[in-house]
Amino acid sequence: MALEFTTSYLQDSVAVFHQYKKMAERAMDQLTEEQFTAVLDPEMNSVALIVKHMVGNMRSRWTDFLTTDGEKPDRNRDTEFEAPPATRAEVLALWDEGWSIVFATLDSLTERDLTATITIRGEAMSAMQAINRQIAHYASHIGQIVFLAKHLQSATWKPLSVPRGQSAAYTRKVFSGEASQR
């Protein structure tokens, strides 16, 4: 996905969140039903558990974003790493639910809201800092999803960006105007 030139922090943040969301979805699209709950070792989280954790975080951080602490008292973070959703459909429904909260909140904000002071676990920060924090948090978990999906798919993995060994050809396409948007 090509980024649009903007000087709006909110517009850019929304685009970055969409870009990461799409990356994870393209990775998850390549998984079999069983691979959603697969792990490489007993200490690792499956894609299903990573999604469950991300959605718990999304609910907590983005609900009443400007008015309540981002760590809601009813959140039980530890249970986000137990009992993964059983099916691909359940994982993806949860995923969509979480992202709808993120985007609804971001869509309700104005540039003026970015300087508001909010708290996460009692720590004060600007709304802009909180958004940056969430971009970094979700990017790290999406990296885990991509890594796990790529490992599980191995030889059948379809690259999410320029395929290995094709950088020069892709660069020529970019400068000739033939490159497709990713």
pLDDT tens, position by position, 9-57: 999 999 999 999 999 999 999 999 999 999 999 999 999 999 999 999 9
* Cβ atoms within 10 Å of 55's Cβ, excluding its own: 22
Residue 1 within a domain: no
Residue 3 within a domain: no
Position 147 confidence tier, pLDDT thresholds 50, 70, 90: very high
Q: Is 123 helix (H, G, I), strand (E, B) or coil?
A: strand
Average pLDDT for 111-135: 97
The CA angle 145-39-161, to the nearest 5 degrees, is: 25
Q: Which domain holds residue 152?
A: 9-176
Residue 181 within a domain: no
Residue 47 within a domain: yes
Phi/psi for 79 (5° steps) reads -75, -15
Position 165 confidence tier, pLDDT thresholds 50, 70, 90: confident
Kindly report the CATH number assigned to the domain that includes residue 38: 1.20.120.450
Number of structural domains (the chain) is 1
